[in-house]
Amino acid sequence: MRLGTRGSPLALAQANAVAARLRDFGAEVEIVPIRTEGDRLLEAQLAAVGGKGLFVKEIEEALLGGVVDLAVHSLKDLPAALAPGLALASVPRREDPRD
C-alpha cells in the first residue's frame, strides 16, 4: 500500500511509525512524500494564505485520485471538516506528550 504524507521530518517520523505497525501485520508499505502548498509558503502567515488546509489539500487530492491508498497527518493540523469521500479511519496510540 502507498502511504502519503508530507516530507517534513515530523511527518516522515509519524508515517514511518504507522508503516512499521502496518508491516507488523504483514502489509507492504511504501511511503510517498507529498509536497503541499503549505510547504511552499512556509514564510507566509497561515491565516493570511488559507489556514491549516494548505497542508492537506494535495494529500486529499492524492487520496481521492488513487495516487496513495492512505495518508498520515497530524490530527491537530487537519481541518474540522474532511473532504467528501474521505474519512478519519484510525488514530494511533499517543506517544509521550512531554516530548
Active site residues: 77
> Helix, strand, or coil here: 60?
helix
Beta strands 2-5 and 70-71, pairing class: parallel
52, 44, 45, 18: which is closest to 32 by C-alpha? Answer: 18
Query: CB under 8 Å to 7, separation ≥6 — which residues?
Result: 33, 34, 35, 39
